[in-house]
Chain A
Amino acid sequence: MTTKLFGEPVQRREDRRLITGQGRYLDDLGQGALAAAFVRSPHAHARIRDIDVSAALDVDGLVAIYTWEDLPERVRDPLPLLIPHPALTHGRTAYPLARDVVRHVGEPVVMVVARDRYLAEDAAGLIEVGYEFLKPVVGIEEAANGVHLVHEDVPGNVGAHLVQEVPSAQGLGAREAIDAAPHVLSFRLDFERSASMPLEGRGVYARWDADDASLRVYSSTQTSTSVRMAIAAKLALPLPSVEVIAPDVGGGFGVKIVHPWPEEVLVPWAAMLLGREVKWTEDRREHFISSAHERGQVQHVRVGFDGEGRVLGLDVTILHDHGAYTPYGIIVPIITATQLLGPYRIGAYRVEFSSIYTNTVQVTPYRGAGRPQGVFCMERTMDRIAAHLGLDRTAVRAANFIQPGEFPYDQGLIFQDGRPLIYDSGDYPESLRMLKELIGWDGFPAMKAEAAERGRRLGIGIGCYVEGTGVGPYEGGHVQVTSDGRVHVSTGLTSQGQGHETVFAQIAATELGVPLEKVSVVTGDTRRFGYAVGTFASRAAVMSGNAIALACRKVRDKALRIAAEALEADPRDLEIEDGVVRVAGHPGASIPLATVAVLSNPLRYAFDEEAQRATQFSGAASMDRPPVQEGEEPGLEGRDYYSPIRSTFASGMHAAIVETDPDTAEIHILRYAVVHDCGRLINPMIVEGQIHGGVAQGVGGALYERMVYDAHGQLLNASFMDFLMPYATEVPFIETAHLETPSPLNPLGIKGAGEAGVIPVSAVIASAIEDAEGITIERMPISPSELHELRSRTASP
């Protein structure tokens, strides 16, 4: 048995620096750098008339002020549309600094560079921008009626329109299937905006080295490789002259996958122009009004079903609020439309969405990325069907489940990776059984009745989801064993707290048979690994984990070949344990991996005593062939890539018991239970942590967080005082159970886990409140004030 670390709750290797204050986050770097600040639009929709910077020129420590007019070609062009799609007929992106028109409060208009951030803000505050007001377009339905336009050349404010339709086995379209169904319901659902809201905002720090004409950029990003390509293109620099590094990143949750941000182009550009280091550290207000939000949708649902609750036809029309720009394409509504189906086999399905521009902050993925809305839609539908038929809510779900024998199961749709939505594996009936047991579903009616006798109001709710994880196109891994026996692993995607340094080391240690302490992992540094996509879509473990495993296997094969020669054994008889290659069953015949690394690199010059073994007169080399054989490379290292045919589908089910106060309408979550299936677990402690965090964000989205825009497009709660992220006092204790259905698609049998926790929470809480109150819940989040309003409306319709 070799060193077995895969599957163990290994303590995190990144912790030591983070708990001693030695982490290096973006703003911890570049202490001598100049600081950038931005004048941002205070208006949601306006034409810029003039910009007067004269009052700012006297500010002590001012270095530079830039407007759009000052930007050179390419830098001044609109930012790239990252994910084009044929349905996105009217994709629009912003200029790095507003050119003529500002389209949301917070859009950057002027860049200021000064000695420190205090002075940069002083100067920014003295710059006068004259605006001519245009009509702000706020609210999905107001925008969809198209009376006023966000972009003059986008009729009806419709950026994209997409219909997908899957007929029934009998060939019926969804609308026909619904019309023919014994029972039909139709209703409307609303889901409000929230945001990723990492505790560290965005940030960029750039150093231009004039001596060797190279640029090094640090960015608090979820994709350093892609930022690098974007910067090289914008600044017309050769790609090898640009390096981008994601240092320690204080949370991402989706917002930092968007790139290049205006600041990611402007800060490096200014650093080159000024020949000085420049840094921009986003503050909290900027993060609220200048980064990205998600979730806002209106859904119209029509469903036909039989007497057992089996869905015969489902027709969903979605209005998706896309904010002012679409740099990330229409990934979010595509995911809503496709992942809406969850663990269910639906008779016939039709989904149509329109992506609507509004004069608000742009919408790009936030953990869950469209799934919470889709799951809300489907799970509300299941509860409606159960209520209509007088059936138990879990019975209706069970009647619709895809069965374990039906995998791979083709949902007949095209997923966000442009590939067929085919579920690889899962066991939904078993998940439901485990969940019901964990929460005590069958005993709940008695508990509820008993509480009612004491004047307390309880409700139970449930939500199920399937999550496509590990989307392509690829990730890579590089593994190098050096002559000191250390193993250096690198991968291009980035980390924001997921514990990659630990889990990737676990994979490498297991594959190579070395102690964990010998392995070090670097992520998100283009100097170490240049080909990568990024960290999003619960893909890091699946993509880079498998790529690293494959690279390790290459290294292992090579190590065994070299060791076999040295030990005069057959490579098939060798094993590696604790960093030593030995002949199985012959403890004496062994060679340390460190020595194998020495032998792997034929040397002319010995740099230390160990290295002498690899030099030309050591007698180790065969005289019959060249020192580096054909098809081999010097060094004990390997690089490999993992590129899946399509995504792998994780799943889970949550249940909650809530209590609502009959007088104050306060909502308390008494219990929260999670059954989760992400295939094989690399590190169960880390997976649990991901689930806890996801559920907490879900609780925020269900009961506390929203982006409140007024009719003028002003964000009324752009601070942590009024955007109510949950504290420890608001998050319930989370009970978890795991089911492990391995993925057949990848060598490690794993599925993604990062986003899972957040996905069904709004659906679950809505279900539970509805059960407690006997009032239909159609809109999330819900506050005590709104519950009170619902009660009043129900009491006197």
Chain B
Amino acid sequence: MAETLHEISLTVNGVVREVKVPGRRLLSDCLRHELGLTGTHVGCEHGVCGCCTVLLDGDPVRSCLTFAVSVDGHEITTVEGLSGPDGSLSPVQRAFSECHALQCGFCTPGFLCTVTALLRDNPTPADDEVVEGISGNLCRCTGYQNIVKAVHRAAELMGDEA
């Protein structure tokens, strides 16, 4: 027996996307498979690793702990939406590359979304605020040291641009 499909409309990276999904479709899967935005990664599907973090109306949330139907009508930003329309990298993206804050890159989109919101709310975070801010995202490659460095560097870049 086929499942009921719900028609929903999401504004993803500034573009309105209409899609039909079953009630149980996780936002992570909807973004990745229905909308083809595979930059959002799935690492645990129980909300611990943070790889699937996206911005929901500007705030970072776990897309694996959110049903797509629940956020019908809302705005979502994924890693694909962090760079400028001309493809220019955001300060957070630039800082991550500059500071070697990624290795395999699988957790990186979640960190980038988390840090983008962190620095919007707190443009000059102290070291412990940075660590607290990224404390819900797992990285198995970097040991976090260069990620912390990158957050400070991004704050600096944003300060320069402001």
Binding site for B on A (CB under 8 A): 11-12, 14-16, 18-25, 27-28, 31, 58, 60, 116, 118, 197-200, 248-251, 253, 283-284, 496-499, 685-686, 688-689, 692-697, 719-721, 725, 727-729, 731, 733-734, 757
Segment with Cβ contacts to A, from B68-76, B117-125, B135-143: B135-143
Contact A200–B93 (Cβ < 8 Å): no
Q: A729-B132, A733-B145 are in contact. Are A283 and B104 (CB under 8 A)?
A: no
Contact B106–A686 (Cβ < 8 Å): no
Partner of B143, one of A22, A496, A692: A692
Contacts of B48 in A (CB 8 A): 719-721
Q: In the complex the two chains form, what is the Cα distance from A248 to B102 in whole Å?
A: 13
Contact B105–A250 (Cβ < 8 Å): yes
Interface 1/0s, chain B 84-116, versus A by CB < 8 A?
000101000100111010111111110010000
| B37 in the interface (beta carbon within 8 A) | yes
| B51 in the interface (beta carbon within 8 A) | yes
Q: In the complex the two chains form, what is the Cα distance from A692 to B79 in whole Å?
A: 25
Contact A497–B103 (Cβ < 8 Å): yes
Chain A CB within 10 A, most for which of B83, B98, B145: B145
| B27 in the interface (beta carbon within 8 A) | no
Contact B97–A199 (Cβ < 8 Å): no
Contacts of B32 in A (CB 8 A): 27-28
Q: Does more than half of chain B's interface fall in helix, strand or loop, or is it mixed?
A: loop
Contact A198–B131 (Cβ < 8 Å): no
Contact A496–B104 (Cβ < 8 Å): yes
Partner of A284, one of B46, B87, B104: B46
Contacts of B5 in A (CB 8 A): none
Partner of B44, one of A497, A686, A689, A720: A720
Q: In the complex the two chains form, what is the Cα distance from A615 to B36 in whole Å?
A: 47
Contact A60–B45 (Cβ < 8 Å): no
Partner of A19, one of B89, B138, B140: B89
| B148 in the interface (beta carbon within 8 A) | yes
Least Cβ–Cβ distance between B119 and chain A, in angstroms? 15
Q: A199-B43, A283-B45, A720-B48 are in contact. Are A729 and B135 (CB under 8 A)?
A: yes
Contact A60–B112 (Cβ < 8 Å): no
Contacts of A497 in B (CB 8 A): 102-105, 141
Q: In the complex the two chains form, what is the Cα distance from A692 to B150 in whole Å?
A: 15
Chain A CB within 10 A, most for which of B22, B80, B140: B140
Q: In the complex the two chains form, what is the Cα distance from A733 to B25 in whole Å?
A: 40
Q: In the complex the two chains form, what is the Cα distance from A25 to B105 in whole Å?
A: 10
A689-B103, A689-B141, A697-B140 provided; 12 other pairs, C-beta below 8 A? A14-B105, A15-B102, A19-B89, A19-B112, A23-B39, A27-B38, A199-B41, A692-B144, A692-B145, A719-B44, A719-B46, A733-B145
Q: In the complex the two chains form, what is the Cα distance from A144 to B107 in whole Å?
A: 40
Q: A199-B138, A692-B146 are in contact. Are A284 and B44 (CB under 8 A)?
A: yes
| B42 in the interface (beta carbon within 8 A) | yes
Contact B97–A728 (Cβ < 8 Å): no
Contact A720–B135 (Cβ < 8 Å): no
Q: A21-B40, A60-B2 are in contact. Are A731 and B143 (CB under 8 A)?
A: yes
Q: A15-B102, A497-B105 are in contact. Are A725 and B44 (CB under 8 A)?
A: no
Contact B146–A20 (Cβ < 8 Å): no
Q: Can you list 15 A-B pairs with a CB-CB distance of less than 8 A?
A: A15-B97, A15-B102, A19-B79, A20-B89, A21-B37, A22-B39, A199-B43, A199-B140, A200-B43, A251-B104, A692-B143, A692-B144, A692-B146, A731-B144, A734-B145
Q: A16-B97, A60-B3, A199-B106 are in contact. Are A25 and B41 (CB under 8 A)?
A: yes
Q: In the complex the two chains form, what is the Cα distance from A31 to B36 in whole Å?
A: 8
Partner of A20, one of B83, B135, B137, B144: B83
Contact B79–A21 (Cβ < 8 Å): yes
Q: In the complex the two chains form, what is the Cα distance from A685 to B98 in whole Å?
A: 10
| B126 in the interface (beta carbon within 8 A) | no
Contact B93–A19 (Cβ < 8 Å): yes
Chain B CB within 10 A, most for which of A24, A496, A689, A721: A689
Q: In the complex the two chains form, what is the Cα distance from A688 to B142 in whole Å?
A: 9
Contacts of B142 in A (CB 8 A): 689, 692-693, 696
Q: Which residue of A lies closest to B36 (CB)?
A: A31
Q: In the complex the two chains form, what is the Cα distance from A250 to B40 in whole Å?
A: 13
Tier of interface size on chain B:
35 or more
Q: A20-B39, A199-B106 are in contact. Are A728 and B45 (CB under 8 A)?
A: no
Contact A23–B105 (Cβ < 8 Å): yes
Q: Which residue of A lies closest to B33 (CB)?
A: A31
Contacts of B24 in A (CB 8 A): 118
| B162 in the interface (beta carbon within 8 A) | no
| B78 in the interface (beta carbon within 8 A) | yes
| B55 in the interface (beta carbon within 8 A) | no
Contacts of B145 in A (CB 8 A): 692, 731, 733-734
Least Cβ–Cβ distance between A176 and chain B, in angstroms? 45
Q: A27-B32, A28-B38, A692-B146 are in contact. Are A250 and B106 (CB under 8 A)?
A: yes
Least Cβ–Cβ distance between A278 and chain B, in angstroms? 15
Contacts of B107 in A (CB 8 A): 199, 250
| B10 in the interface (beta carbon within 8 A) | no
Q: Which residue of A lies closest to B46 (CB)?
A: A719
Q: Which residue of A lies closest to B97 (CB)?
A: A15
Least Cβ–Cβ distance between A37 and chain B, in angstroms? 13
Contact B98–A199 (Cβ < 8 Å): no
Q: In the complex the two chains form, what is the Cα distance from A116 to B25 in whole Å?
A: 11
Q: In the complex the two chains form, what is the Cα distance from A205 to B123 in whole Å?
A: 43
Contact B138–A284 (Cβ < 8 Å): no
Q: A200-B106, A248-B105 are in contact. Are A12 and B97 (CB under 8 A)?
A: yes
Q: In the complex the two chains form, what is the Cα distance from A528 to B141 in whole Å?
A: 27
Q: Which residue of A lies closest to B131 (CB)?
A: A728
Contacts of A116 in B (CB 8 A): 33
Least Cβ–Cβ distance between A564 and chain B, in angstroms? 41
Contact B41–A686 (Cβ < 8 Å): no
Contacts of A695 in B (CB 8 A): 143
Contact B105–A19 (Cβ < 8 Å): yes
Q: In the complex the two chains form, what is the Cα distance from A21 to B35 in whole Å?
A: 13
Contacts of B93 in A (CB 8 A): 19-20
Q: Which residue of A lies closest to B96 (CB)?
A: A19
Q: Which residue of B lies closest to A118 (CB)?
A: B24
| B49 in the interface (beta carbon within 8 A) | yes
Q: A60-B1, A696-B142 are in contact. Are A18 and B102 (CB under 8 A)?
A: yes
Least Cβ–Cβ distance between B24 and chain A, in angstroms? 7
Contact A250–B138 (Cβ < 8 Å): no
| B61 in the interface (beta carbon within 8 A) | no
Partner of B41, one of A200, A689, A727: A200
Q: Which residue of B lies closest to A496 (CB)?
A: B104
Least Cβ–Cβ distance between B141 and chain A, in angstroms? 5
Q: Which residue of B lies closest to A497 (CB)?
A: B104
Q: Which residue of B lies closest to A694 (CB)?
A: B143
Least Cβ–Cβ distance between A92 and chain B, in angstroms? 30
Contact A21–B102 (Cβ < 8 Å): no
| B134 in the interface (beta carbon within 8 A) | yes
| B147 in the interface (beta carbon within 8 A) | yes
Contact A199–B51 (Cβ < 8 Å): yes
Least Cβ–Cβ distance between B118 and chain A, in angstroms? 12
Q: A16-B97, A689-B142 are in contact. Are A727 and B104 (CB under 8 A)?
A: no
Q: Which residue of B lies closest to A23 (CB)?
A: B105
Contacts of B45 in A (CB 8 A): 283-284
Contact B108–A18 (Cβ < 8 Å): yes
Q: A199-B49, A720-B49, A727-B135 are in contact. Are A693 and B141 (CB under 8 A)?
A: yes
Contacts of B89 in A (CB 8 A): 16, 19-20
Partner of B138, one of A248, A689, A725: A725
Q: Which residue of B lies closest to A251 (CB)?
A: B104
Contacts of B80 in A (CB 8 A): 20-22
Q: Which residue of B lies closest to A690 (CB)?
A: B103
Partner of A728, one of B39, B78, B100, B147: B147
Contact A25–B37 (Cβ < 8 Å): no
Chain A CB within 10 A, most for which of B37, B104, B106: B104
Q: Which residue of B lies closest to A24 (CB)?
A: B38
Contacts of A27 in B (CB 8 A): 32, 38, 42
